[in-house]
Chains A and B, each alone.
Chain A
Amino acid sequence: MKKIRIGSGAGYAGDRLEPALEMIKKGSIDYIGFECLAERTIAIAQKAKLADPNKGYNGLLEYRMDKVLPLCHKHKVKIITNMGAANPQSAVDVVCKIAKEKGIKGLKVAAVYGDDVLDNLDKYKDITVWETGRPLSELDGIISANAYMGIEGIVEALKNDADIVITGRVSDPALFLAPLVYEFGWDLNNYDLLGKGTLIGHLLECGGQATGGYYSDPGKKDVDELWNLGFPIAEVSENGEFIITKTEGSGGIVSKDTLTEQLMYEIHDPTTYLTPDCIADFSNVKFTQKNKNIVEVKGATGREKTSTLKVSLGYKDCFIGEGEISYAGPGCLERAKLAAEIVEKRLKLTDVDYDELRIDFIGINSIYKNSCRKYSTPEEIRLRVAARTKNEYDAVQIGNEVETLYTNGPAGGGGATKYVNEIVSVASILINRGDIEAKVIYREVK
Chain B
Amino acid sequence: MKLWEIAHSRTGDKGNISNISLIVYDIANYELIKEKVTPEAVKEWFKDIVKGEVKRYELPQLGALNFVMYDALGGGVTRSLALDKHGKSLSSYLLDIDI
In this complex, the member of A40, A131, A262, A265 whose beta carbon has the largest number of chain B beta carbons within 10 angstroms is: A265
Q: How far is the CA of A262 from the CA of B64 in the complex (A)?
A: 12
Option from A271, A357, A425 in Cβ contact (under 8 Å) with B79:
A425
Interface residues of B in 1-49 (CB under 8 A from A): 4, 8-10, 12-17, 19, 21, 23, 25, 47-49
Which residues of the other chain, A, contact B12 by a CB distance below 8 angstroms? Answer: 265-266
Question: Is the CB of A214 closer than 8 A to any CB of chain B?
Answer: yes
Q: How far is the CA of A299 from the CA of B21 in the complex (A)?
A: 19
Binary flags per residue of B38-65, CB closer than 8 Å to A gives 1, else 0: 0000000001110000010101011010
Interface residue stretch chosen among A2-10, A144-152, A284-292: A284-292
Given the interface contacts A285-B62, A366-B83, A368-B93, does A257 sit within 8 Å of B16 by beta carbon? no
Q: How far is the CA of A185 from the CA of B50 in the complex (A)?
A: 45
Question: Is the CB of A374 closer than 8 A to any CB of chain B?
Answer: no
Option from A131, A221, A320, A356 in Cβ contact (under 8 Å) with B8:
A221
Q: How far is the CA of A200 from the CA of B51 in the complex (A)?
A: 34
On whether the beta carbons of B83 and A362 are closer than 8 Å, the reply is: yes
Quote the shortest CB–CB distance from A195 to chain B (angstroms).
Answer: 16
On whether the beta carbons of B84 and A367 are closer than 8 Å, the reply is: yes
Option from A217, A299, A369 in Cβ contact (under 8 Å) with B49:
A369
On whether the beta carbons of B78 and A270 are closer than 8 Å, the reply is: no
Question: Is the CB of A74 closer than 8 A to any CB of chain B?
Answer: no
Question: Is the CB of A156 closer than 8 A to any CB of chain B?
Answer: no
Which residues of the other chain, B, contact A368 by a CB distance below 8 angstroms? Answer: 49, 89, 93
Question: Is the CB of A370 closer than 8 A to any CB of chain B?
Answer: yes
On whether the beta carbons of B59 and A270 are closer than 8 Å, the reply is: yes
Binary flags per residue of A329-347, CB closer than 8 Å to B gives 1, else 0: 0000000000000000000
How many residues from A make CB contacts under 8 Å with B?
Answer: 52
Which residues of the other chain, B, contact A295 by a CB distance below 8 angstroms? Answer: none
Q: How far is the CA of A215 from the CA of B8 in the complex (A)?
A: 9
Closest residue on chain B to residue A43 by CB atoms: B78
Which residues of the other chain, B, contact A426 by a CB distance below 8 angstroms? Answer: 15, 76, 78
Interface residue stretch chosen among A106-114, A245-253, A382-390: A382-390
On whether the beta carbons of B89 and A367 are closer than 8 Å, the reply is: yes
On whether the beta carbons of A386 and B59 are closer than 8 Å, the reply is: no
On whether the beta carbons of B78 and A317 are closer than 8 Å, the reply is: yes
Interface residues of A in 209-246 (CB under 8 A from B): 214-215, 217, 220-221
Question: Is the CB of A261 closer than 8 A to any CB of chain B?
Answer: yes
On whether the beta carbons of B62 and A287 are closer than 8 Å, the reply is: yes
Which residues of the other chain, A, contact B62 by a CB distance below 8 angstroms? Answer: 256, 260, 263, 285-287
Closest residue on chain B to residue A360 by CB atoms: B83
On whether the beta carbons of A264 and B83 are closer than 8 Å, the reply is: no
Quote the shortest CB–CB distance from A328 to chain B (angstroms).
Answer: 19
Binary flags per residue of A381-410, CB closer than 8 Å to B gives 1, else 0: 000101110000000000000000000000
Option from B16, B21, B79, B93 in Cβ contact (under 8 Å) with A317:
B79
On whether the beta carbons of B17 and A286 are closer than 8 Å, the reply is: no
On whether the beta carbons of A265 and B76 are closer than 8 Å, the reply is: no
On whether the beta carbons of A270 and B8 are closer than 8 Å, the reply is: no
On whether the beta carbons of B21 and A356 are closer than 8 Å, the reply is: no
Closest residue on chain B to residue A362 by CB atoms: B83
Question: Is the CB of A348 closer than 8 A to any CB of chain B?
Answer: no
On whether the beta carbons of A369 and B48 are closer than 8 Å, the reply is: yes
Binary flags per residue of A421-442, CB closer than 8 Å to B gives 1, else 0: 0011110100000000000000
Closest residue on chain B to residue A266 by CB atoms: B12
On whether the beta carbons of A261 and B23 are closer than 8 Å, the reply is: yes
On whether the beta carbons of A423 and B83 are closer than 8 Å, the reply is: no
Question: Is the CB of A358 closer than 8 A to any CB of chain B?
Answer: yes
On whether the beta carbons of A283 and B78 are closer than 8 Å, the reply is: no
Q: How far is the CA of A299 from the CA of B23 in the complex (A)?
A: 18
Closest residue on chain A to residue B68 by CB atoms: A268
Which residues of the other chain, B, contact A320 by a CB distance below 8 angstroms? Answer: 79, 81
Binary flags per residue of B65-99, CB closer than 8 Å to A gives 1, else 0: 01010000011111101111000010001000000
Give me the interface of A with B, judged by CB distance under 8 Å.
Answer: 39-40, 130-131, 214-215, 217, 220-221, 256-257, 260-271, 283-287, 299, 317-318, 320, 356-358, 360, 362, 366-371, 384, 386-388, 423-426, 428
19 contacts between A and B (CB under 8 A): A39-B15, A215-B8, A220-B4, A260-B21, A261-B8, A261-B10, A264-B66, A265-B10, A265-B19, A268-B14, A270-B57, A270-B59, A317-B79, A320-B81, A360-B82, A367-B93, A371-B48, A425-B76, A425-B79
